[in-house]
Amino acid sequence: MDFLVVDWLGTPVWFWLVFLGLVVALTAFDLGVLHKEDKEMGVGESLKLSAFYIGIALLFGIWIWLEKGADSGMKYFTGFFIEKALSIDNVFVISLIFTFFAIPRKYQYRALLWGIVAVITLRGIMIAAGAALVEEFYWLLYIFAAFLIGTGIKMLFAGSHEIDVAKNPVVRWISTHMRVTKELHGEKFFVTVPDDKTGALVRATTPLFLALVIINVADLVFAIDSVPAIFAITTDMFIVFTSNIMAILGLRALYFALAAMVHRFEYLKYALALVLVFIGSKIYVSDFVMDGAKFPPVLSLGVTFALIVGGIGYSLWKTRDAATLPKS
């Protein structure tokens, strides 16, 4: 059993196994126990499930704090809060995608689950590639930092714009290169149907599969912000990966809690913009103002948490008369 204490990517193997076991257990419990049958999830159930996932993520962060030290713990929480806040934008885009493809709510949860599995895989690949590049070329952190600052400034001054799913190049490519049914076939992504011209049985994709693909494409776009952000906080692969994935795991439940009230977070983007500018700026402050000294993790966590909570609170206050929460 000596291999359990061998370092892998800077962290003992048993840490990775604990995390992997937790992710597998949560996913199996979610799909195999909570949602064995497709059904519509109400807001009340969604809020409870969201609280459960957030609670697990916070407990995991406390475990990291105790096992790896306060420095690692604070970096984990900083990364987790940033990714969780950024995922609210994901909720808006996912809602548009499901609406465009007319996906009933009772099928949305299972589609999101398989989408999250794909997202975890893609994020893992992106994080691994980013870590390898940063280890070999440290100066890439300065590019990441500049990108975060530029993105944050753009978010502060750019107006809102509607997303046209129909014009998405992936949707158009699949529609022209694959058979796509006009109607849903329950929870199925692929079905066998008669060809319109010959009558022969052929394999075709369903609108649910298209929605799944576009959700993953959208996450890749969002990852362009979130992956550089976490690398600007730490290059510890265990912290980078676990903080990202623990935030993503609860996205399914968060979606059903917030999809109907995402307009209530209209001003959160300005807080997120300031977070990105702050996270990017601290790389330069640490290396050029503090002569390479480590930026205080407690300050980084405190500023990040205050901006996000402030943005959520201000948004809810400004839009308090905009709409009421739908009943579960």
Amino acid 219: pLDDT: 79
DSSP tag of 182: S
Amino acid 78: pLDDT: 93
pTM, to two decimals = 0.82
- The structural domains of the chain, with segments of one domain joined by +, span 2-318
Helix axes 105-136, 13-29, angle to 10 degrees: 170
- What does the chain come to in residues? 328
Amino acid 264: pLDDT: 78
Amino acid 328: pLDDT: 45
Amino acid 39: pLDDT: 62
**DSSP readout, 67-99?**
HH-HHHHHHHHHHHHHHHHHHHHHHHHHHHHHH
Buried-exposed string 234-268: b where 16+ CB fall within 10 A, e elsewhere: bbbbbbbbbbbbbbbbbbbbbbbbbbebbebbebb
Q: How many CA atoms lie within 13 A of 72 on its CB side?
A: 19
Between CA 96 and CA 217 the distance in angstroms is 14
Amino acid 240: pLDDT: 92
Between CA 26 and CA 105 the distance in angstroms is 22
| β-bridge pairing 11-12 and 7-8 | antiparallel
* Per-block mean pLDDT, blocks of 10 residues, the chain (328 long): 80 93 85 62 79 94 95 94 82 81 81 82 86 86 90 81 67 79 83 81 87 83 80 90 89 76 80 90 89 85 91 87 54
Q: Phi and psi of 204, rounded to 5°? A: -140, 155
Q: Which helix (H) or strand (E) holds 59?
A: helix 43-68
Buried-exposed string 71-95: b where 16+ CB fall within 10 A, e elsewhere: bbbbbbbbbbbbbbbbbbbbbebbb
CA distances from residue 240 to 72, 83, 102, 120, 254 in whole angstroms, order as listed: 10, 11, 35, 13, 21
Q: Are 227 and 127 in contact (CB under 8 A)?
A: yes
Amino acid 324: pLDDT: 52
